Amino acid sequence: MSKELKKALFLDRDGVINHDPGDYTRSLNEFTILPGVIEFLQEHSKKGYAIIVVTNQGGIAKGEYSLNDFYEIDAYMGSAFAEAGINYIETYFCPHHDVVGKCLCRKPGSGMLEKAVHRHGIDPEQSVMIGDKWRDIEAGEGAGIRGVKVDVNQDLRTVDLGF
């Protein structure tokens, strides 16, 4: 008997989930979940979507903030999602940046998404990657996941995912 694959919403973090100030979100004090995000993710969790965050965090490699700063923000976000009953699975992040050194995980590469698909039994054909940059869309498409481009800091309740 085969296990049924899950459908998922993959989301970039800065500018999609939280307010992007135009450079790096360096600390929990700078992290603000955008209006509409919780409601949007609650609605799609109820529809059976797993929620997975996929984010480049090149500021770590560049010394703009620490790995601990990232983990503090991620723990806060995960707690907020859990309190809201959101089916949040995990955050995948790339702590590298091209100015410091090349890597395989950084978007527009699809490595983080492919890892999540395999680890969590995700069906790429039933899933969507939501991002505010073309590299997010390219990363999704590289993993066989349809991309939906949104504006930076857009209210996700205004987004048509096409289903």
Looking at residues 127-145, what average pLDDT do you find? 98
Mean per-residue pLDDT of the chain: 95
Residue 51 CB contacts under 8 Å (≥ 6 apart), including other chains: 8, 9, 11, 41, 44, 45, 81, 86, 87, 88, 89
Give residue 126's pLDDT: 96
Give residue 98's pLDDT: 87
Q: Given a cut of 90, is residue 12 above it in pLDDT?
A: yes
Active site residues: 12, 14
Put simply, whether the predicted model's pTM sits higher than 0.75 gets the answer: yes
Looking at residues 19-31, what average pLDDT do you find? 94
Q: 35-93, pLDDT tens digit by residue?
A: 999 999 999 999 999 999 999 999 999 999 999 999 999 999 999 999 999 999 999 99
Instruction: Please give the domain boundaries of the chain with CATH numbers for all domains.
Output: 7-158 (3.40.50.1000)
- Helices 134-142 and 111-120, interaxial angle, to 10°? 50
Least confident of 4-8, 92-96, 128-132: 4-8
Give residue 101's pLDDT: 81
Least confident of 9-18, 21-30, 145-154: 21-30
Give residue 1's pLDDT: 47
Q: Given pLDDT bands bounded at 50, 70 and 90, which one contains residue 2? A: low
Give residue 163's pLDDT: 79
| Closest C-alpha to 33, from 159, 162, 155 | 155
Q: Are the CB atoms for 10 and 130 separated by under 8 Å?
A: yes
Q: 143-154, pLDDT tens digit by residue?
A: 999 999 999 999
Rounded CA separation 161/127 (Å):
10
Percent helix, strand and coil across the chain, each to the nearest 5: 35, 20, 45
